[in-house]
Chain A
């Protein structure tokens, strides 16, 4: 067992690792993250998770529910290593919960251990200013007696990527559990499937009925589609006709008025504290809203943006969906604007009292298996997901989004964990 695997095991037991080890880990992580672009390209299949906020036991529950990628990861230190999924975390790993430190370090360990299987994206809480206010700083001081560990972590925050692009996501789903054969999925034209924590199907939504498609989507009125993204109508990004689904952009907050193409994100020098404004700030702070165009954000940073903005952006960048986190949604996920943007929230019973459920979003691999895409700057090859044939047959109606499976889960059973509490200060003089 390497030191790293030991550290993973220790953190999985919710026990912090020694300061020296944290320093080492952060150092390694930095080496790794410096190699990542501001927008990391990830090939489907992929699991996308939202805010975690230091709710360690719920993170463990997420590992259980999230299925393949993480259970496999969990097994890996027992000698088996089979990681069919990539996993994207949309930021906000720290603050508010009582185990930000363990949660973040565990994710970082996994990142260092399986760099290609885990993508961490910066959230607005991954910043010095915010962590000093919302608890991560205090937690580090409490657990280590000094702010050093907090400093190491903040250094790593500065290196985290700002977004990810998922390529090759299929417009059909693979089965959610082993009891269902894949034949059941071959014909069913399912766009959205909601599963519970055990992988049982709770509800399904067929693709593009004239009914309301989104299970909870506000404003999901069908019929007002601007042409399908990636249908070639979007001349700007190299005319990728025949792309079945288009790419999925993952960011923590949302869009920025200063960013009109994904490539613009690549031109940011991200290694800095999250600024109070500017494109980098907006990506981490903005929220979608039922408005036209851009609006002032009540958060005081970032902007609100409406359906028109999302559609134009998606169209221009050949995206079919934007997956973001940043807002508490009681059902764990919420699709908006004709399913052009979705909010994923992965902290169940937020702050141990909000009573919400959490979700992760699964995107399947494109059919035929030839959608192997380099994990690199992915401007080339995005257009060919190997799905052309499938698309051609049923070209009657545009299929725009990738098929999405939401696995909804609740807070970890309380008995499986200790009582959530902060670590008390050990000694006192005054």
Chain B
């Protein structure tokens, strides 16, 4: 619009093109198109009255509408271009439908400001009222009344009105900055406090919120500056949403003791940024937490981010500073409090660094390391204060997260120097640490450090369907020789040390453990699970050599149920690897018996333990691990008989009975051969949880499909369940073409993982769709994105809601959905003024919008 000549009243800016409607018999009747103006019109001498006038477009002399804005709160703005009200004189419902949203906004601002004046609490503002108030706002400059308690209502209303469009927000921002308006407002807080005028304090709070929600970087920087911050948060202490509460932000921020200075930061501008950042964080998390919208949130975040970049940049480049910092640890006599604080300082540095770009982070860590960070970590990990230990592990973990290779290189270096490697210290610590949090972080750190070769990203493999064969190779050709050496050393010396408690179980008669010990086993077995997945032959050898399976089996008789659970899960993972060796090992070590015992003891109770056991046997049955089934039935038939009321065990016995002897052993030999091609299952090395896709080699599947017809048929019903555990369903292969005829095979009892699920679905009912129709191939990546979407949707909802409540009464946006507000929602903002009485939707004809040619007066309203 032509706001370029702001000072000159201009018809095209002042006169808004509009259609006038009147409600007759529940229908909106078009009274014509014209130009709308709003302003103070003289009546009877010096008296002036606020009026809205619409002059006809075709006959400029004819007035289509002249209405007086009166005290009754009858006007409402709907959507972007509608103003509706009930004519007080005759009670007729009227509507103005504007061609442009801006026109509507301008007229509405005038109406709204007038209505605000009629508000009984705001009588005082009469002389500040000027007839150009309505029009002024569209111009590039705005002025607000002088900051004084008496003007607060006008200031608040004008600011609220100005906040609605981008142009006026800019103007308001300029004004606030140029006039130093924040500084002018600040003294009012104390004045109002002196007068104990809660009303004024609430208005000040609203005004301050409006100022901050302008989302202007300079304003926010100004607001958290030394001169302003206390006053700003002071104003924000009196939130009208919580009339009986007062926050104590000033007290919190005035407490200078919150800043701990380990080494003096000489650069005053950096020091200022440190304080500023803390205030910004406080503003974001505490003061504004409830009202922040996405825009302000990101403005605050980016301010914080850039400050932090500067601070970290300054520190890592400041050799003198770093020298002094790390010297704290080198001197013997230093008081321990300072050392502790230094650790915590470094911890905070590292956690801030997590937000930075990787190169910046890298230089920071490099500088830290070259000044002796590892010694600091070593010092910290052995400290008797838990907080320090937590700090030290945090530092370590954040560096490992950043680049494990960096730490590994340091370790290689240590090995070459014949120093004990860091991993050994970690192992020592893990075994004696009492703080569970530190313990779990150390165990995570160990896992990452000992992670083999190219960073384990199972997802990559899982997605690159069909390339699984590659993983079958025992070692990746790209392996780092140093890493090899490191692992060799680890398995030569450290592993035994690490898993010592497990190995020592051998000579233990009773399985009574303290909480500490029990949690120790939990961690150890978890780590071992990870190693078994990652270090194939090395870990296999270790497990065999130390009789680990037997040892873990011992835990099955302990008291602690969760420890039993850990043991079951360990064994479940071994059979889940589909590795011939482990299957054989497990049956030789006779650990399945104890699992069965656990189940027999637990059943028929339905608890976590029985579920885990059942899932274990279900897996054996579903995957048709014949060796184990054979072992089970031959050695534990009696126990199985006790459990035949469970389908799984009925099936296992049946299967065995049908194929006993010849076929089982034959299959067994074929299986052994075939096993080479059998792909390694996707087990997520981090969580130990199963990965999404269990891929089947089609040829192999053919084999599985064509063996043991009858048994599988027997198994049909029950076998669906196991797929339900997230193990094998959703199988989505590149070349699953053969599987489409798999339906035929089903009759023959061919049950691949997918078939089973599908069969399950079909069996259940026709309504159940096929799994392959619903399981999308790329779930993992989508998941994150969609999770964000969910957030977005929420964000939209929030924004929508925000607009509803903070802007005037606008039931804004084009959304026809009328959100019914709760009581709080509608009463919180007094400007809301009740719900809209009616909801109408009127659109101007396209010819009118084009604004030329003949006017088509046919209403296109949908009431």
Q: Which residues of A contact B (CB under 8 A)?
A: 23, 27, 30-31, 33-39, 98, 130, 133, 142, 145-148, 151-152, 159, 256-260, 264-273, 275-281, 293-301, 303, 308-309, 312, 316, 328, 330-331, 348-349, 351-357, 376-377, 410-411, 414-415, 418-430
Contact = CB atoms under 8 A, between A and B. Distances in A.
B667 to A, nearest CB: 26
Given A267-B615, A377-B605, A430 B771 contact: no
Contacts of A276: 692, 779-780, 783
Contact of B824 (A145, A266, A349, A427): A349
Contact of A148 (B348, B437, B805, B819): B437
B565 A34 contact: yes
A152 B519 CA distance: 12
B435 interface: yes
Contact of A270 (B437, B608, B757, B784): B608
B241 interface: yes
Contacts of B348: 428-430
Given A268-B611, A415-B244, A420-B289, 13 more contacts: A38-B611, A146-B437, A258-B757, A267-B722, A271-B565, A271-B608, A272-B687, A278-B724, A278-B730, A410-B823, A423-B286, A428-B274, A430-B352
Given A415-B245, A419-B242, A151 B440 contact: yes
Binding site secondary structure of chain B? helix
Contact of A277 (B394, B730, B773): B730
B824 A428 contact: no
11 contacts: A34-B608, A37-B605, A256-B724, A266-B606, A267-B611, A272-B689, A293-B768, A299-B786, A354-B797, A377-B606, A428-B259
B825 A312 contact: no
Contacts of A426: 258
Which 5 A/B pairs are nearest by Cβ-Cβ distance? Answer: A278-B726, A300-B786, A148-B437, A37-B606, A355-B825
A419 B242 CA distance: 7
B773 to A, nearest CB: 8
B779 A270 contact: no
B638 interface: no
Contact of A280 (B245, B614, B725, B780): B725
A394 to B, nearest CB: 30
Nearest to A40: B606
A296 B776 contact: yes
A228 to B, nearest CB: 17
A277 B802 CA distance: 35
Contacts of B785: 300
Contact of B721 (A30, A267, A300): A267
A357 B252 CA distance: 34
Given A146-B390, A415-B244, A421 B774 contact: no
Contacts of A351: 794, 798
B128 to A, nearest CB: 32
Contact of B765 (A316, A354, A355, A356): A316
A233 to B, nearest CB: 14
Interface string B275-291: 00110011001110110
Interface in B668-723: 687-690, 692, 720-723
Contacts, number: 280
Interface in B331-358: 341, 344-345, 348-349, 352
A414 B240 CA distance: 10
Interface in B813-862: 819-825, 828
B572 interface: yes
Contacts of A415: 242-245
B606 A418 contact: no
A349 B692 contact: no
Interface string B427-457: 0000000011100100000000000000000
B515 interface: yes
B740 interface: no
A330 B252 contact: no
Nearest to B782: A300
Contact of B605 (A39, A257, A376): A376
Contacts of B605: 35, 37, 376-377
Contact of B769 (A38, A293, A357): A293
B608 A294 contact: no
A73 to B, nearest CB: 24
Contacts of A147: 437
B764 interface: yes
Given A33-B608, A351-B794, A355-B801, A414 B242 contact: yes
B155 interface: no
A164 B258 CA distance: 48
B269 interface: no
Contacts of B394: 146
B727 A278 contact: yes
Given A37-B606, A421-B286, A424-B252, A299 B802 contact: no
Interface in B234-287: 239, 241-245, 247, 252, 258-262, 274, 277-278, 281-282, 285-287
B274 A430 contact: yes
Contacts of B771: 257-258
B822 A37 contact: no
B181 interface: no
Nearest to B394: A146
A279 B243 contact: no
Contact of A355 (B262, B606, B776, B822): B822
Contacts of A376: 605-606
B729 interface: yes
B341 A268 contact: no
A414 B278 CA distance: 28
B833 to A, nearest CB: 16
A102 B783 CA distance: 29
Contacts of A148: 390, 435-437
B724 A268 contact: yes
B69 to A, nearest CB: 29
Contacts of B757: 257-258
A421 B290 contact: yes
B774 A294 contact: yes
Contacts of B804: 355
Nearest to A306: B767
Nearest to B341: A429
B241 to A, nearest CB: 6
Given A146-B437, A300-B786, A312-B764, A419 B245 contact: yes
Contacts of A271: 565, 569, 608, 612
B311 interface: yes
Nearest to B718: A267
Contacts of B399: none
Contacts of A142: 285
A37 to B, nearest CB: 3
Nearest to B393: A146
Contact of A264 (B241, B247, B616, B720): B720
Given A159-B608, A298-B789, A300-B782, A428 B290 contact: no
Interface in B518-542: none
A151 B725 contact: no
B387 interface: yes
A316 B764 contact: yes
Contacts of B604: 377
Contacts of A275: 689-690, 692, 726
Given A34-B562, A148-B437, A351-B794, A312 B289 contact: no
A424 B282 contact: yes
A204 B48 CA distance: 54
Contacts of B783: 276, 299-301
Nearest to B823: A410
A410 B822 contact: yes
A362 B46 CA distance: 66
B283 to A, nearest CB: 10
